[in-house]
Amino acid sequence: MKILLLGSGAREHALARALASDSATTELVVAPGNPGTAAIATNLLIDPTVPEEVVELAVQMGADLVVVGPEAPLVAGVADAVRDAGIPCFGPGAEAARLEGSKAFAKEVMAAAGIPTAEAAVCTTEEELALALERFGAPYVVKEDGLAAGKGVVVTEDRQAALAHGRACLAREGGRVVVEDYLDGPEASVFCVCDGATVRPLAPAQDFKRLGDGDAGPNTGGMGAYTPLTWAPADLAEQVVREVAQPVVDEMARRGTSFIGLLYCGLALTAEGLRVVEFNVRFGDPETQAVLARLTSSLPELLLAAATGSLTQAPAPTWSEQAAVDVVIAAPGYPGTVSTGGRITGIEAAEEVEGVHVLHAGTGLGEDGALEATGGRVLSVVALGEDVAAARARAYEAVARIHLDGAQYRTDIAAGR
C-alpha cells in the first residue's frame, strides 16, 4: 500500500521505520519528515496542520492510508478532511481529538464512562485556581487545558510555583487550567489501537518526563522510555482495554464521535488501583520508539484495519521477547530556551553497537550539509537486549559515541528495572 505519514519527530522516524520495513508498504512519503526519515522514505515539505495541503498530497500520490503522527494536525481537523476525501486515515477527527486538546473535556468523558481518574477542578479565574490548590493540597498538580506538547503540566510541592503556572495558563486566550488530586504510584503508558468500536492494545511502556536524573528538574516532552514492564501486572494491557479504552471508545460512539486512531492511556498504578492520568490521541513520544522496536507483526496492516473499521479481522500484534530502552538526547537549554545549530557527530558509530538504532527528532542539515540540532529533543537512541538491563547498557554505550556540544540526557533511564 501507499502510505502518507505526517510529522517530523523521532516518533515519526520510528513509525516510518516500522512501516517502511514491512512488505505491505510499497511507497512511503513522510511530510515534512527529517534527515532520518529521508534515508528510508520520501520527504515532502508541506504544513501537516493544513487540511487542504494534506489532502492534496494524499490524492496526488494515490495514498491508500494516511497516518497522522503529531497531535496538532488532529486537533486542526486533518483526519476529518482526509476521510471526507475518501482516503482511510489513522487518527481521530477534530471532535474526538478533544480528548487530548482539552483536559476538561477528557475529564467529562471519563466521568460519563465511569473511568477511574483523579478528582479535578476546572478553573477559569485566579480565585478558582487558589481555591482548588487549597482544596487538593500538595503535591499540587496543575495542567494547562489545551495542547502543550507534553510540557503543560506542573507537579510541585511549592504553592507559589503552582500558582504561577496556573496564572500563566489563565493569561492565554480562552485560558483554562485543570487542578487535580495527586496520584501516587508508578506510571505506565498503554497505547490502544481503535477503529471506532474495537480496541487492540500494544505493549505497555514507561516514560521519564522530568529533565534530570532521579526525576529532578522541569517536566519535558519525555527523556526516555522502556518496555516491557516486568514489574507491572501481566494483564495490564487487557485491564486497560476493559476498564479504560473500551469505555472511552463506547462513550465517544454514543456521542456520535467515533474514535479512530491511537488512544494513549497515561496511567498511575496506585494502591487503590489503576487511575488515568491523561489521554493523548496519537502515538506517545518517546514510548513509541521503544514499543515499535519490539513489534514483530505488520504495523501497516494493523493501522489500515483500524482506519477501515476492520480490527476484528486483524490479527493481534505480536512482540519480540527482547526488551527495548530509548534514551533521548536533548539540546542545550531544553525544555526552556533551546540553543540550536550545534553539530551532531557519532551516529554511525552509535549504530555499530549491537541492537541499536538512532532516530532523528530535532535535526536538520546545515549549509555545509552537516547534521545539526534544530529543536529541543534531538535524537532518540534505541537499543534492544535480552532484558531491560542489557538493552539499557547498549543504549548508553551508543549514547556515549554521539557528540553534541552541551547535550543533555538522563543517565538513569530504566535503571533498576
> Tens of pLDDT along 241-251?
999 999 999 99
In this prediction the pTM is 0.91
Residue 326's alpha-carbon distances to 205, 226, 236, 398, in angstroms, are 11, 6, 21, 11
Res. 119: pLDDT tops 90: no
The candidate with the shortest Cα–Cα distance to 324, out of 356, 282, 350, is: 356
Average pLDDT, the chain: 94
- pLDDT computed for residue 157 by the predictor: 87
Residue 4's alpha-carbon distances to 33, 93, 343, in angstroms, are 11, 17, 30
Cβ pair 155, 219 in contact under 8 A: yes
Other CB atoms within a 10 A radius of the CB of residue 171 amount to 9
pLDDT in tens, 170-188: 988 778 888 888 888 899 9
Question: Domains plus CATH for the chain?
Answer: 2-93 (3.40.50.20), 121-180 (3.30.1490.20), 185-313 (3.30.470.20), 323-404 (3.90.600.10)
Res. 78: pLDDT tops 80: yes
- 22-46 average pLDDT score: 98
The candidate with the shortest Cα–Cα distance to 14, out of 146, 200, 148, 202, is: 202
- pLDDT computed for residue 66 by the predictor: 98
Q: Which of 7-16, 181-190, 233-242, 343-352 has the lowest mean pLDDT?
A: 181-190
